[in-house]
A and B are shown apart, each in its own frame.
Chain A
Amino acid sequence: MSGTYETPGGTHETPGDPHGGRDRPGHRAALALGDDALVLAQRLGEWAGHAPELEEDVALANIALDLLGQARTLLSLVGDEDKLAYLREEREFRNVQLVEQPNGDFAQTIIRQLYFSVYQELLYGQLAGCRPEDATPVAALAAKAVKETAYHRDHAEQWTLRLGDGTEESHRRAQHAVDALWRYTGELFQPVEGLDVDWDNLRATWTTSVRSVLEQATLRVPEGPQSAVWAAGGGRQGVHTEPFGRLLAEMQHLHRSHPEASW
């Protein structure tokens, strides 16, 4: 981080400053994965009271709560969870662009979940599979959370099948979402420093897995590029898409309005 931003919490000189070590590889990894979980939880939280049926109000909230729990654990490995969530600027967030994409219609939300949860389950699975003596705090979280991500993946797969192979309208909407979000999937496989992951294997497994669900759902697997021209891997470098600024504005506004307050 360059010194041009006012760092959350301000005081660089304080020993034990929660942000002093943000550049350590383990912290970068926790931040990347923590931001993924936080931002997707925030998006899913927007669904509350708007879901197509009551069961989905419950299910989407469940997933959001799991992700928020992961985010809190991961961000706390780096520093104060609230300072990190509420006081960083847009360019300091390390989440992939996929998770910040707007909810759109239910198909868009489901396909975003499919792409992300397949990735997250595979990633956590690899991290959890490391030798115990190599286990980092991030790997410990992954081992704990891999079960819930399997549930998220199953939920997304079931809905992808229903939408893809449901009615003409649902098929059309699902296909649109599959195509529109495809360009955000390439970034998922960009290596994150501090994570002991076989990224090529991750990409291959993800592709097989997603392809098989889409085909079963009678959806066409996109052939276009998996990233936009200039922004490849953008989110992990702190380059985001336009909707992200508004997401943060909404999320951070109240907290930032009362700088001295605790809640």
Chain B
Amino acid sequence: MTTVLPERGPGGDVGGGVGADEAALQAAFDAAISADERIEPRDWMPDGYRATLIRQIAQHAHSEIIGMQPEANWITRAPSLRRKAILMAKVQDEAGHGLYLYSAAETLGVSRDELLDKLHSGRQKYSSIFNYPTLTWADVGAIGWLVDGAAITNQVPLCRCSYGPYARAMVRVCKEESFHQRQGYELLLALSRGTPAQHAMAQDAVDRWWWPSLMMFGPPDAESAHSAQSMAWKIKRHGNDELRQRFVDICVPQAEALGLTLPDPDLRWNEERGSYDFGEIDWSEFQQVLKGNGPCNEQRISQRRRAHEEGAWVREAAAAYARKRAAAPSNEDGRR
């Protein structure tokens, strides 16, 4: 944002801490939000705003890196070299998204290590969608089309999020996610138009991924714990239900073009609303997966922990080497 706000003190606390100062800071912050200005890392912000952003950005970063697993599951088995290259690049992009997002979170005063710790100990979450398994090659296509597609629908509005570093990270991420979505669609199209076995594989994958993708938008607005405050802070710009509807409306004609059906008998065009009606989502399944009872919760988090633990000696070696270099008198790079 461009208005001049007093910077935070070195300890993160606001100089003075007197009630009147606090009220003035809050007023300036509120004014910036209502004027649609960006909040930047050194601006004053309410604790709740900071905590909400940390929670959301961390969860988003964790989702990027856990999300590498179901797709990486198919890198070694991709059925053509072209598809192998596309998939490798995609999984690499997701690692890159993780990096941007952890960096965005760092601007709020939390380190990547702290956040990874919270992920590994189950104190922070990642998107439940990645607790579903990739059982066939077509799942790679279904994830690209539906999961990356839902992610874009969710994330495009985040490009206008009130917090500058998050909004800017989202601009980059969304550009790449839309590649992923198109590549997934194109993969499914090749299967759908391929042999009967390939077509069946594509249909099966869409059958399994459709409902979990709709759940990615979160519970209905009425039951969403954080929605209202996030909207007021312009972290969030649209309700869960609105985004979910937008996604359904995009997907239905795409499914038709793919020659695949969506597994919802209640799906039909509603002339009055200018949108598709769709069936009841099974929120008990969502709650179960969230609680840890999805098909892959345990597997995903333990692979993450294992990679981290098995990598500890490597990170320690790099740190030890860097210390030795810094201390070496002959080293022209030595800065101290």
User: Which A57-74 residues have C-beta < 8 A from chain B?
Assistant: 57-58, 61-62, 64-65, 68-69, 71-72
Q: Tell me the smallest distance from the CB of A154 to a CB of chain B, in Å.
A: 15
Q: Contacts A45-B88, A49-B303 given: A261-B317 contact, CB under 8 Å? A: no
**Inter-chain residue pair count (beta carbon < 8 A):** 142
Q: Contacts A49-B303, A54-B65, A253-B77 given: A165-B315 contact, CB under 8 Å? A: no
Cα A258 to Cα B195 in complex, Å, equals 9
Q: Which residues on B sit within 8 Å (CB–CB) of A65?
A: 85, 88-89, 92
Choose from B98, B307, B318 the contact partner of A166 (Cβ within 8 Å).
B318
Q: Is the CB of B314 within 8 A of A52?
A: yes
- Bitwise, A195-234 to B at CB < 8 A (1) or not (0) is 0000000000000000000000000000000000000000
Binds B, one of A2-10, A91-99, A127-135, A167-175: A167-175
Q: Which residues on B sit within 8 Å (CB–CB) of A48?
A: 68, 72, 75, 88, 91-92
Cα A161 to Cα B331 in complex, Å, equals 14
Q: Let me know if A255 is at the binding interface, CB within 8 A.
A: yes
Q: Which residues on A sit within 8 Å (CB–CB) of B318?
A: 162, 166
Q: Contacts A72-B85, A258-B197 given: A263-B311 contact, CB under 8 Å? A: no
Q: Is the CB of A250 within 8 A of B311?
A: no
Nearest A-chain residue to B201, judged by Cβ: A258
Cα A169 to Cα B175 in complex, Å, equals 42
Q: Is the CB of B81 within 8 A of A62?
A: no
Main secondary structure of the interface of B (DSSP, over half): helix
A-B contact pairs, 21 of them (CB 8 A): A45-B88, A46-B76, A48-B72, A48-B75, A48-B88, A49-B69, A50-B303, A52-B312, A54-B65, A54-B95, A61-B95, A62-B92, A65-B89, A82-B80, A166-B316, A253-B77, A254-B79, A255-B79, A261-B195, A263-B187, A263-B190
Choose from A58, A81, A166 the contact partner of B99 (Cβ within 8 Å).
A58
Q: Contacts A166-B317, A170-B317 given: A261-B194 contact, CB under 8 Å? A: yes
Q: Is the CB of A261 within 8 A of B198?
A: yes
Q: Let me know if B321 is at the binding interface, CB within 8 A.
A: yes
Q: Let me know if B333 is at the binding interface, CB within 8 A.
A: no
Q: Is the CB of B98 within 8 A of A54?
A: yes
